[in-house]
Amino acid sequence: MTTIQANSNAAGHGQRLFSLPSVYVLAALAACLMITIGCQVQDDEVRSGQGIGPTNRGAGNPDNDKSGMLQKAQPEADAAIVAATGEVPQSVPQSVAQSVPGGGASDPGQQTRPAVKNEPSVAQLREAALQALGEGQDDLAFQFVRQAISVEPDNPQVVFLFAMVLADRHRYAEAIQMLQELSVREPTTRLPALGQTAEWMVESGKYDQAEQQFRSILQEVPDALMVHHRLGQLLLQTGRRTEAALHFDYLAQFGELDHEELRALLIRSRSFPGDDGMTRFDPLNNLAMCRQEIADGKADEAVKVMDAAAEKNSDAEVELLNRLRAQQGDFDHVQEWIEKMNMKTAGPDAWFARGCLALKRDSDDEAVACFCQVLLLDQTDADAYRMLSRALEEKGELEKAKAVAARAGLVDETHRIGAKLVGDKAKDRDLIAQLVESLKQLKRPMEAFGWQTIGLVHAVEARAITETQAQSTFESIGRQRNQLMNSGSHRPDPAFVLCGLGPNVLEPVVEKTAQ
């Protein structure tokens, strides 16, 4: 069944996002080209209950796109190789070679170069270059695309492909400039050019520029699901996990998250222990590496790294550093920093540090408010729940403290399960079922639906249920997801996140922040 096969591919571990072979990048380009004409159609299908569950459209397996593209282009590309070189590559069937004038001889060991009148068309050269890229024959691809662009230098498809070949040779600056110039001449190529050059900027370590370009696309096409995937993954790999979660939360509304993206939603303040090298989301900068070290029990080393960086630290790194200092009892540095901090733009790490400082000063109301702010930004922060429970105890509100402590334990349970759902355990249906129940208790239905769908895919693979049974459940999940979205109840309930504490609990920090 096609739907289950697609979901099965998405549920597994995909290719590394920013280390794609050239033909995978071409598949990404094809997705970019569809942004302006296909996103609305795709979303309408999801909302109507079709294609339920994680699919290949956003962050699925690019092999499916690749194989379809190459299969379609194969005959014409093979013919072009024969016509252009007079030689028959191993991948070219003899029947194809013989179909091109001059491409095949009665003696298979002798090929003759065709006459000038039989020179391949630009379309044949372009398809041949595409095939060569797919086979890793970079020099041959470069030869074909240079021939094509010499004939039609203003052909947008040829220019795009030439840029792809340059990027495949790690000539990113030239490739980016080529597409930027193309987008000026051909405004219709602007969005695809933004998406593709953003990928190359990531490849070449220009993460800030890549982020800006992804955001530029979303300003014009807010429901471009593939771009939400790309931006969310980039933010995740650069340590800005709570920002990445905003994009993953959006995708979860459409059942568009794969296993590793869903897993990243389980814990947002840091990585899972031992994740470096275990998933496709390896750290790309110091912030992400520090979050991984903290998860691995090396907080002291992370502090040393950020201390040494001093003024070179980003705002997010400074916030994380002061959170660690507060947890280690180094309040002199934290107080000095808080006095200069603009809390209106603060992230969860900054609010956590301020909450610890307030607790140290016996400002219990302020501490409660600060930890509540953390949780409104990141409801997966079990440490913040524990500190909130402690602050409530200091105030003498023991029943509330007990309820908050219980919530911390439930969040910890999702972390414990999520830490196991990697490698050989990624398809453990018992663990996935436990996780679904915990997420339901935490009133995070979109994540629960995503894991439930992945569990069904694995159940079909293991022949535990039939495809018909799985399809019926997929459709039921789709209906429930749509009902929640239509009612608006898919969004987190602040009162539930704060274990029943009312909005007035934030007043101490609201007043101080305003001052």
pLDDT in tens, the chain (515 residues): 333 333 333 333 333 333 333 333 444 444 444 433 343 334 443 333 333 333 333 333 333 333 333 333 344 444 443 433 344 344 433 333 333 333 333 343 434 344 445 678 999 999 999 999 888 898 999 999 999 999 999 999 999 999 999 999 999 999 999 999 999 999 999 999 999 999 999 999 999 999 999 999 999 999 999 999 999 999 999 999 999 999 999 999 999 999 999 999 999 988 999 998 889 999 999 999 999 999 999 999 999 999 999 999 999 999 999 999 999 999 999 999 999 888 989 999 999 999 999 999 999 999 999 999 999 999 999 999 999 999 999 999 999 999 999 999 999 999 999 999 999 999 999 999 999 999 999 999 999 999 999 999 999 999 999 999 999 999 999 999 999 999 988 889 999 999 999 889 999 887 555 44
CATH 1.25.40.10 in the chain, residues? Answer: 23-61+153-268, 286-497
Judged by phi (left if over 0) then psi (alpha if -120 to 50, else beta), residue 488 lies in: left
CB of 504 closer than 8 Å to CB of 34: no
With tokens 């979860």, the residue in question is 252
To 5 degrees, how large is the angle CA 221–CA 225–CA 229? Answer: 120
CB of 453 closer than 8 Å to CB of 255: yes
* Dihedral pair phi/psi, residue 464, rounded to 5°: -80, -30
pLDDT at 512: 57
CB of 380 closer than 8 Å to CB of 411: yes
Query: How far is Cα 221 from Cα 509, in angstroms, rounded to an integer?
Result: 36
pLDDT at 356: 97
H-only helix segments in 238-314: 241-252, 259-265, 286-295, 299-309
**Residue at 124: amino acid letter:** Q
pLDDT at 489: 85
Helix (H) or strand (E) holding 502: none
Q: Does domain 23-61+153-268 have CATH number 3.40.1360.10?
A: no
Helix (H) or strand (E) holding 447: helix 445-461
Residue-by-residue DSSP string for 214-235? HHHHHHH-TT-HHHHHHHHHHH
Closest Cα to residue 131, out of 173, 183, 171, 72? 72
Query: How far is Cα 346 from Cα 341, in angstroms, rounded to an integer?
Result: 8
Query: How far is Cα 207 from Cα 211, in angstroms, rounded to an integer?
Result: 6
> Which residues, other chains included, contact 202 with Cβ-Cβ below 8 Å and sequence gap of 6+?
18, 210, 234, 284
Q: What is the pTM of this model?
A: 0.78
User: Helix 429-441 to helix 445-461 angle, to the nearest 10 degrees?
Assistant: 160
Residue-by-residue DSSP string for 144-210? HHHHHHHH-TT-HHHHHHHHHHHHHTT-HHHHHHHHHHHHHH-GGGHHHHHHHHHHHHHHTT-HHHH
Q: Write out the two tokens for 60.
A: 């699925």
Query: How far is Cα 131 from Cα 74, in angstroms, rounded to an integer?
Result: 7
Judged by phi (left if over 0) then psi (alpha if -120 to 50, else beta), residue 118 lies in: alpha
CB of 213 closer than 8 Å to CB of 183: no
What is 286-497's CATH topology?
1.25.40
Decide: helix, strand or coil at residue 350: helix
With tokens 């403290």, the residue in question is 401
- Torsion sign (Cα): 192, 195, 198, 199: negative
Query: How far is Cα 8 from Cα 24, in angstroms, rounded to an integer?
Result: 19
Residues 414/417/421/424 CA torsion (nearest 10 deg): 180
pLDDT at 76: 40
Query: How far is Cα 45 from Cα 276, in angstroms, rounded to an integer?
Result: 36
pLDDT at 511: 59
- Torsion sign (Cα): 471, 475, 476, 478: positive
